[in-house]
Amino acid sequence: MPTAEWIFEHSVPGSLLLLALLVSLATVAYAVWRYLPRNATGFALVGLRVLFLLVLFWVLLLPGKKSALTEIVKPRFIVLLDVSGSMAQSADETAGRTRWEAAMAMLDKSWSKALRAKCLLEVYPFHADLDSPVAFDQLKTLKPEGKSSHLNLSLNRLFDRLRGQELAGVLVLTDGVDTREKKDAWSETGWPSPLYVAQLEKPGVPDDKPDMRVENVDTPRRAIVGWDTAMAVTIAGQGGKGEPFPVILLKGGKEVEKIAVQLPPEGGSRDVQFKLPHPEVATETYTVRIPLLPGEVQTNDNEMVVAVDVLDAKNRVLFLEDVPRFESKHLSRALFANKDITPLAFFQLPNRKVSGTKEWVAYGDRQGLTFDLSLDQLRLNKIIILGDFDSEAISPEHCRTILEFVEKGGSLILLGGQKLWGENGISKTELSKLLPFTRAGAPAVEGKFSVAWTAEGRAHPALANNQEMPAELPPVLSVFTGVTLSAGAFALADAQTDNGRQPVLVSRVYGQGKVLAVLTDSLWRWVMQPGDDKPYPKFWRQIIQWMSPSESDLDKYHLELFTDAGTIAVGDPAILQSRLVIPPTETRKSWKVTCEITTPSDRVIPLAMAGRNIQAAGGAEIPGYVAEFAPGEPGNFKAVAAVEIDGKKVVSAPCLFTVRATSQELVLKPINEKVLKALARSSGGRYGTLDELDSLLQDLRVNERRERKLEYRSLWQNAGVLACLIALLAIEWITRKLRNMS
């Protein structure tokens, strides 16, 4: 119930206001007794003046009225409704209705009326993405026509959209088939609200008819010549009676590998791995094929074609690190954010298969790469960054290869730590020849040391005339001291320690190459600098640019083309996105970017790409170009983007995508009961039949929240009070004028 109280907000003590009122009334009384005639006009004037003073006293008190109202806030109950094409099907021949009809029947049950009295009920349709909510009386306008099911994405979007709001639960009406996710493990994630998942049809029973399919092929669509990549293939199906069947990998139509796969009799899925070597620059076409089994009817999903574009990418940067640390984590992020280079980062971690050994694990968006630290792989790069290794981690052969690499013009960055700069570090290897200093293997001195550019550093080609680099550098927390610079070496920056100024960044030329040594393992602290002006990524961008070989004018521009999905169905749109990388000193212009698509029947279709922001890795938006293409035939498509700059044509590497004759959304499958049960279990909800959930939701206990709202209303600052004051003064003045009174 609402409650109210009077408040007075005057800052002057009330006793002083009351005293002023009494003095004013006494003055009026004296003036009346001394000067005012004793007649009706005089008494009227006295009344007007006294009333004016009383109203003015009321205004000076600054009165108000504060009301408190307690409201009952109902929580929300959400219905997440799948409107994708698979909902119009039914794998249960005995049901007599589709999954969509079962979902509509669930929405018509008694639970909805019971919950409307206790909750705010909303329906959110979804298919490829989460749609806007619709009212219950608009459900008949919805149809299951979506071309894909993105259940995981839609659930996450739903909880992001309703973050901070009180939720009583979510009723999920879907078949659990997610065409976006390769695995079902996502459904085990904890969810912020109970999910009540309806069983729209009985789970599928084993089918005697064989039906095997290539469900997904995951491999990097661009590879670097000389490097191996991994191809992960998901094989699914049922009806094979548990017998093994072959999965064949073909390259350019020729068989290169065959693997025997065995699925449970009741059906399921399994991942197989292929290793893809890339010996030369080319566009490689791979086909994953399952030969038709006797009696197999569904045959249009037994193979999938993917293409890998093998590039001799410019400005390759190889980062090798031992166990990941803060320094390597932040440097990796800076490298992968630099669009002018092709970074590859590998960490050496304990081997999961062979105890007591280590293996190289790729970091970032090239996790399919395998790395054996071969000499040929080292020679392919323009810059090598060595992290915190001891002398036993790198063999003499690799040390000699790195020496030869630098002598012939390569660049080497030594991002050291306690191991690299320790007694059993790089000084014990042949790489000591290229070190720009000598020092004893003492541990780092720890503290908080201010860092400043040296005179050589300010004039250095990597830093001179660079307006982005700050004049003052943040401090570091460690310095490897006791350094004696070698002939031809110079310090770019030094730190003030108790033993005087000590070099932090040391550079030298070795042969035709360049060497940079970092004598701190806390340079990453520059990322923590307050404000938006972060010196860490700017510093590394300038260092990488200086240490990279010079490029021709044409190489200054780089055009990339990619799609939102490597495999789509006939009729589904392929979203082609391109990004034009330009020199950092040049202003972006309104260039005309075009795209040509070559179809499986060798038709060439030209497209104009419109300028639009596109999403880069990490979620950031960057300037780009977009075109949409709806393929009308199955097969392997190739797209190439081009732009003309200053009379020179810049062409992208080919972008390839596969079009299937039938969308996986429309392939008849039973409901994914494993996912549906996992959603209910991991969220603390319930999985059950329509009748079971109807009974449960009717009796659902809802915690109502009471909110106390305060409302303030001023009792003096309004037109009526102010008009009364003005009116009293005006009436008194007019009366005096009419009666010729002063």
Could you name the CATH architecture of 75-204+670-703? 3-Layer(aba) Sandwich (3.40)
Per DSSP, 291 falls in state P
For residues 223 and 699, the model is more confident at 699
Q: How confident is the model at residue 585 (pLDDT cuts 50, 70, 90)?
A: low
List pLDDT tens digits, range 344-401: 888 887 776 677 777 777 775 444 555 666 666 676 788 999 999 888 888 888 888 8
Backbone conformation region of residue 602, classed left if phi is above 0, alpha if psi is from -120 to 50, else beta: left
**Six token digits for residue 266:** 């009741």
Separation CA 119–CA 114 (nearest Å): 9
Q: Is residue 207 predicted with pLDDT exceeding 70?
A: no
| CA distances to 223, 245, 272 from 257, in Å | 19, 14, 12
Separation CA 53–CA 56 (nearest Å): 5
**Angle made by CA atoms 479, 483, 485, in degrees to the nearest 5:** 130
Q: Which CATH number fits domain 316-547: 3.40.50.880, 1.10.620.20, 3.20.20.10, 3.40.50.2300?
A: 3.40.50.880
Least confident of 144-148, 302-306, 350-354, 629-633: 350-354
Q: Is residue 617 predicted with pLDDT exceeding 60?
A: no
To the nearest 10 degrees (0 to 180), the angle between helices 40-60 and 719-738 is 150
pLDDT of 619 reads 43
Separation CA 355–CA 336 (nearest Å): 31
Query: Backbone phi, then psi, for 94, in 5-degree steps?
Result: -85, -10
| Radius of gyration for the chain, computed over Cα atoms and rounded to the nearest angstrom | 38
Q: What is the mean pLDDT of residues 625-637?
A: 86
User: Average model confidence (pLDDT) for the chain?
Assistant: 82
List pLDDT tens digits, range 38-91: 788 878 888 888 888 888 888 888 888 887 776 667 888 999 999 998 899 888
List pLDDT tens digits, range 491-534: 888 998 888 889 999 988 888 788 999 999 998 888 887 766 67
For residues 400 and 565, the model is more confident at 400
Quickly count: other Cβ atoms within 10 Å of residue 335's Cβ.
23
What string of H, E and C letters represents the secondary structure of 613-659?
EEECCCCCEEEEEEEEECCCCCEEEEEEEEEEECCEEEECCCEEEEE
Q: Judge contact between 418 and 444, C-beta under 8 A.
A: yes
**Six token digits for residue 127:** 């298919």
Backbone conformation region of residue 17, classed left if phi is above 0, alpha if psi is from -120 to 50, else beta: alpha
| Proportion of the chain above pLDDT 70, given as a percent | 88
pLDDT of 260 reads 92
Instruction: Give me the residue spans of the domains in the chain.
Output: 3-70+711-738, 75-204+670-703, 211-311, 316-547, 554-665
Q: Which residue type does 435 have?
A: L
Q: Which residue type does 25 have?
A: L
pLDDT of 28 reads 83
Q: Which CATH number fits domain 211-311: 1.10.238.10, 2.60.40.1760, 3.90.1150.10, 2.60.40.10?
A: 2.60.40.10
Identical topology for domains 211-311 and 316-547: no
Q: Judge contact between 501 and 495, C-beta under 8 A.
A: yes
**Six token digits for residue 469:** 């680099």
Could you name the CATH architecture of 554-665? Sandwich (2.60)
Q: What is the mean pLDDT of residues 670-683?
A: 91
